[in-house]
Structure 1
Amino acid sequence: MFTTCESADATVGSVMATIEGREEHIRLAGIIKGLHADLRKKFKKCTDADDFEQIWKEHCSDTDTLRQYADAMHHLATDHWTRLPETRIDWCRKTILEYFHGGGLKKALEKVSRRIQVHRAKKLQREYSDRRKKDTSKDEQRDQNVGNDSENVDLCISAPSLPEVYDEATCVIDTDTLPTTSVDIGVPFRGRIRLLDVGSCYNPFAGFEEFLSIGLDISPANSKVHRCDFLNLELTDPDPSALSKDDPFGGLPDTVSQLPRQSFHVVVFSLLLEYLPSAGQRWTCCCNAHQLLAGNGLLVVVTPDSHKQHRNAAMIKSWRQAIESLGFVRWRYVKLDHLHCLAFRKIHVGEVRDKELGPASPDMLYIPQDFHEDEDADAEVVSRSDTDIEDISKTFEELPACWDSDEDD
C-alpha cells in the first residue's frame, strides 16, 4: 500500500509539473504573440514610409518591452523547445553540414556546370543554324543570278562545291567555370562555417564547433549576441585578407552597425520573416542577406505553419519566386509538421537558370496576417475549437528563439 501511495504521489506530482509547465509556456508565448500583434496593428495604420520608419525606431528603442520579450524567448528556447525530438536548430545544422561537408555544394556546382554546357551548346547550335540559313540564302541568290546569265551556265555547272560551313572546332564546349572572386565558396570546403544568425536572441549555433556563429538581435538575451538593427545595417566593402583569419569577427563591438559584404557562408532566418510587420521589411532582410553572403553561400529560412503542406503552398511559392529573384536558387525545401524549411544558394552573376523567373516584388513576401484587418486576441480565443488550440500550441512549440520583436533543386 505504501509503495502504491508513493507511486500515486509521484504521478500526481508529474501531472502537476506538466500543468505548471504548460501554463508557463502559454504565458511566455502570450508575451511573444502580443508584441507581434501590437506591432502589426501599428504598421497597418501607417500612411507613408516616414511613419513606418518612426514606428520601427520607437520599437527598437522600447528597451523595457524588448527586454521582457527577450527573456520570454530565452526561457521558451532553453526550457521548453529543447524537449522536442528535433528542433528547428537541429534541422538547420543538419542541412548546412550536408551542403558544405556532405556533397550538397559539390552536386549543386556540378549541376551548374552541366547547365552551362547545355546552354552554350544550344547557343552554338543556334549560331550555326543562322549561318547556314544565311549561306543558303546567298547560294539561292547566286544560282538565280547565274540562271539569268546564259554565259555563265557552264561555269556554274563546273564550279566546285562550296566548303562546308560547319566546323567541329566551333562546337567544342567551353567548360571554364563562371568568373569567381577570392571570397566565393568552392569545393572542397575547408575551415569553420561563418554563420550569421539574424534575430538570434541567445546564439544557439555558437554551441557547435563547426560554426563560427555571429548572433544579431535588437534585444540580446545574453552576451553572446550583438545588438543590431538588421534592417538598417550598413554594408561595407569586403576585406579578403581579414576573412582569411581564423576568427575575422573576433573584434566585433557589442553593438553592430555595419558588416562587410560577401563575408558569410550562411545566413539564417529562423522564424524571423513572418514576424516582421511588413513585406517590405522582409524584402530588405533578404536583400541584405544576399549581399552579406559569399558566392555559393546558403540562406536558410524557417517559417512556422501547423497546417498541411497545401494550405499555404501559394505563399511558399510566392516566397520562393521573390527570394530567387534577388539572386538565389532553391537548394532544399522540406515541410515538417509545423514548419516550412527552405535553403537557397546564392548564384553567380550571369549564372544560367533552368527556367526564367517571372516578375517579383516585395509584396510577394506576404504572410496571412498581412490581410487580417482586426486581430482581437480575446475574440480569437472564444472562437477556437479544441483542434485549433492544439494546432496553435504545437506551433508555439516552434516559435523563434531568434527574433527580437517579432527539395532539392
Structure 2
Amino acid sequence: MSRDVYIAGVAMTPFGRHDARSMQDLAQAAVLGALADAGADQNRIQAFYNANVYGGMVLGQVLMRDLGITGPALYNVENACASGATAVHLACQALRLGLYDTVLVWGVEQLTRLGGGTIPLQRNDYKTELYAAQGMTLPTVYAMRGSRYLHERRETPEILARIAVKNRAHGARNPYAQQRKEVTVEEVLNSRPVAEPLTLLQCCPSQVDGAAALVLTTVKPASSRRPVRVLGSAVQSGHLEEGCDDILDAEITARTARLAYEEAGVGPRDVGVVELHDAFTIAELLYYEALGLCEKGGSADMLRRGDTALGGRVPVNPSGGLLAKGHPLGATGVAQMVEIAWQLQGCADGRQVEGARIGLTQCTGGGIAGVDHAASSVHILGV
C-alpha cells in the first residue's frame, strides 16, 4: 500500500565559488542543516541517497564517513543534471513501498575544480566525437532551438533576453543565488556572444559549487509549519529520435509531466509556483508549453503578460533559476525542491509567492546523441 511522503527538513548552501571549502564540507553542511531543520538525529535516518556527477566512486560514503554516518544503506545516484531529482524519486519509491520510514537525500557538486569552459560532453557516447567535431556542445544545441523558435514564432531575440531579465531579478532577492545582480534587456543582448542567438547572460554559470539536502519521511512532521507532501514524482528517459523531430517539442518533459500530474491528481492550472531547468533562456519558454502552463505557441505571450514573474499567475524560478542561482549539477534537482518547500511554507523571504499551495519542479539531464534528453524528472509538492 502506497504511503504519503512528507518533506520533514530542508537545507542548502549558497551556490557559488567555494575555494576554501571541500565537497565534503559542502555536503556535510547541507546534510546537517536538513537534519536540524527536521529536528532529527542522524541515527533516525534509515537510508541515504547521494546525487553527484563528477565526484567519483562511492562518493556518498566518502563524504559522510567523518560524520559517523556509516552502516545504513547509502545509494550513489548519477543521472546527469537530473541526478538530484532522480535520487529524490528513488527515495520516494522506497518510502511508499514501506522499505523505510525516514531517509535523507542530498546533492552536491564542485564544478570549479574542473576548470573553465562548458561542462564536458558525455565521454562514453560513441557519437560524441562526431558531434563535437561539428561544434555540437550543449550551448549550440540550445542555440539551434532558440533560432528555430524565433523563426517559427516570428519573435525577436528580445523575448529570450526577457527570461534572463526576469530570473536574474528574482535571483537578486535570493541570498543562496550565485549571481545577485539585476540586468536589463539591453545588457543581456549586448553581453558576449556564445552561440547565436544566445549571449553569455542567457546561459547558466558553469563554474559553481553547492549542496542541498532533504529529509523525507512517511511520518507526518509535528512542526508548526505547514507539512509539505510529495504528491507526484516521475522520471523518464528519452526516445531515440528519427532525424526529423521537432526541436521545439520537449517531448520527454511533457511525457514526464503527464505522469507526475496523474499521480498527484492535479493539473497544470492547479500549480502556483514552479522551479524549472532554465540552463539556457530558450529552455524556459519551451518548458512552459511542455508542462502545460500555457497552450502550444503561447509561451512568449505568457512571459510578456508577466504571468511567470513574481506577482504573476504562476511565478517560475523565484529562486533565480539556474541562470542566476547557478547549476551545480548533482545539487540542482534537490535545491529546486528546497525552494518549493520554502515557498509552500511561506519561508522564502524577499521572493515569497503568496498563496501557493502546489508547486512543481522540473529537471532534465544528459545531452547524448540521438535523443531529446537522457533523463527528465518532474515532482509535484503540495500543502
Q: Shared fold by TM > 0.5?
A: no
- Structure 1 or 2: larger helix share? 1
The structure whose Rg is larger is 1
Instruction: Give the alignment's TM-score, normalised by structure 2.
Output: 0.27
Instruction: Give the alignment's TM-score, normalised by structure 1.
Output: 0.26
- Structure 1 or 2: larger strand share? 2
